[in-house]
Structure 1
């Protein structure tokens, strides 16, 4: 039965407030203005070196089809 189930593996629950925030953040993207303000005020933790804003080459992005 487990082999054919369609669910992803999950880990233990986190704090309900944190889960609500994460779910909301991923469903409803922040506006560019709010994101830029947050990036000015909140800095990446020193030990999270891969937690960076995604960079996109706009020239290549415009060439791609939807």
Structure 2
């Protein structure tokens, strides 16, 4: 199960999605996705994902 984890580096907090997996028989955190700072994450969530749609006519009568 993945969790949201905060890491501190040089006085700044960074967020990532982390999953615990066994490596050589011991549990280790494996980073699945780097999310960046809280401000960058909030900006990405509020803007949403740009949607691009292409439509093709297949078997039109």
TM-score, structure 2 length as denominator? 0.26
Higher share in helix: 1
TM-score, structure 1 length as denominator? 0.25
Name which one, 1 or 2, has greater alpha-carbon Rg: 2
